Amino acid sequence: MWQIKKVLRYHFPDLSTRLSSLCDPRKCLEYTIEELVMASFMLFLLKCDSRNDFNLKINEEQFKKNYYRMFRLNLPKMDAVNELFEKMDPKELECLRCQTIHVLIEKRVFHKIRFFDKYFYVAVDGTGVYNWGETPPEEIKPYALKKESKKGRESYTGQVLEAVMVCRNGMYIPLITEWIANDGQPYDKQDCELKAFKRVAVRLKEYFPRLNICILADGLYSNVAIMSVCQEYEWKFMTVFKDGNLPSVWQEVTGLLPIVKKDCTREQRLADATYSIIRIYRWIKDLPYQKYTIHWVECVQKMIHAKTGEEIENRFVFLTNLDVKHCNIDKILLAGRARWLIEEYFNTQKNNGGALHHKFNRKIFDALKNWHSVRQLACMMLQLIMHTKELRQLKAEKGAKMTWKELWKNLNAFLSMCSVEETIAEFEQWSKVNRQVRLE
């Protein structure tokens, strides 16, 4: 709880002002817009599974007292929040999220955990969010993606494309969400992930025009579309290159590999308590593809178990426009493999407290967007909280028994049964001195 207060105080000092300045579409104002949106943040910060789950906490008198002591705000029921989100323009919360991240970047919060101390690596990937089955609500149906089975059975789903900043210390910060959805009008072709990427690229450039971005993506993006976007916006990219993608490039790579020079190969040997690790890097520079010049990089990794001698071999292949050199090939491959952090991000959102598949609103598409924006902003806050030096040290001291899930379970129990009065008083006294918040 101390770390939550500290991160909100030092990383988001103007959050109250920003929430109060949101455009309020309501006429009856029992609660302020700050109280409603802050309550929705807390729902996700405390990793509640649903609106009803958080309402049960609101019914507990001790929880309400603690909430007011922490934030000096009244605590509304989630139905009131949902009514606001049904009327609210989704761009309001999207702008709030991007402005907040922009401030963190300006304060250089992420600079020490960039790759190569220069680029902000942004992983992009799509995922399924909602499944409405064969009979979606009539209000949702024009936006949902329709699939038809071989037997002619229709099903409707909701999907999103996420642009997530991945950091060297394992943090992932959701930047932009683009819904892969039809626009409510008759269509010849449905929306898809590649179309959504072009839209998310425009918004990334709009919100973060001066950011040194390197796009990380899976094999779906090894095509001209990402190359043209990155060239237009002066971005770097690194995409997984699967067998069969861009046949002309594979043909040229196959022809050049037998004559790869020694200065385009490198071997690296590492070891830890369990494995001996051998990594063999190869790369081919300046491959022409249409009007673009790209580089091919490969790493074959062999892990040998120290006790059993069991061998595990993996191969990683990427296309990139980063400047590949003998001295940085290991860092480039490490950065490319950091794309898996977006998979961890999806897993956390779906299975470890993000309630990604839960429909916080069942009929209004804009309300679903607003709930998702709040979820992503809370996710960013949680990442900053979980990577504070103090929490990392506490978790290490407690060992394997103290999981994040157990820690948050204890936090919820504390807020429901104990008083925060003394702790908050100590925190406010402590925070009078200018201090730094360090990320681990």
Residue extents of the structural domains in the chain? 2-94+365-430
* Residue 281 dihedral angles phi and psi, to the nearest 5°: -105, 140
Q: Would you state the pLDDT for residue 389? A: 86
Mean of the per-residue pLDDT values for the chain? 91
Q: What tokens appear for 364 in the block? A: 């209004």
pLDDT value at 298 more than 90:
yes
Q: Would you state the pLDDT for residue 285? A: 93
Q: What percent of the chain has pLDDT over 70?
A: 99
* Residue 136 dihedral angles phi and psi, to the nearest 5°: -75, 160
Which band of pLDDT confidence, cut at 50, 70 and 90, is reported for residue 400? low
Q: What is the mean pLDDT of residues 5-9?
A: 90
AA identity, residue 402:
M
pLDDT value at 421 more than 70:
yes
343-366 per-position pLDDT tens digit: 999 999 998 888 999 999 999 999
Q: What is the mean pLDDT of residues 327-339?
A: 90
- Give CA separation, 38 vs 70, 272, 375, in Å: 12, 45, 12
Q: Would you state the pLDDT for residue 349? A: 92
- Of the candidates 187, 213, 189, the residue with the CA atom closest to the CA atom of residue 200: 213
The residue with greater pLDDT, 243 or 311, is: 311
Q: What radius of gyration, in Å, describes the C-alpha atoms of the chain?
A: 24
Q: What is the mean pLDDT of residues 268-286?
A: 91
114-144 per-position pLDDT tens digit: 887 788 999 999 999 999 998 889 999 889 9
pLDDT value at 148 more than 70:
yes
Which band of pLDDT confidence, cut at 50, 70 and 90, is reported for residue 419? very high
- Give CA separation, 99 vs 176, 322, 367, in Å: 11, 28, 21
Which band of pLDDT confidence, cut at 50, 70 and 90, is reported for residue 438? confident
pLDDT value at 9 more than 80:
yes
Q: Would you state the pLDDT for residue 179? A: 95
Q: What is the mean pLDDT of residues 318-342?
A: 91
What is the C-alpha to C-alpha distance for residues 31 and 203, in angstroms, rounded to an integer? 32
Q: Would you state the pLDDT for residue 211? A: 92
Q: Would you state the pLDDT for residue 189? A: 81
Q: What percent of the chain has pLDDT over 90?
A: 66
Helix (H), strand (E) at residue 378: helix 365-386
Which band of pLDDT confidence, cut at 50, 70 and 90, is reported for residue 296? very high
The residue with greater pLDDT, 237 or 432, is: 237
What is the C-alpha to C-alpha distance for residues 242 and 256, in angstroms, rounded to an integer? 17
96-105 per-position pLDDT tens digit: 999 999 999 9
The residue with greater pLDDT, 436 or 122, is: 122
What is the C-alpha to C-alpha distance for residues 80 and 20, in angstroms, rounded to an integer? 16
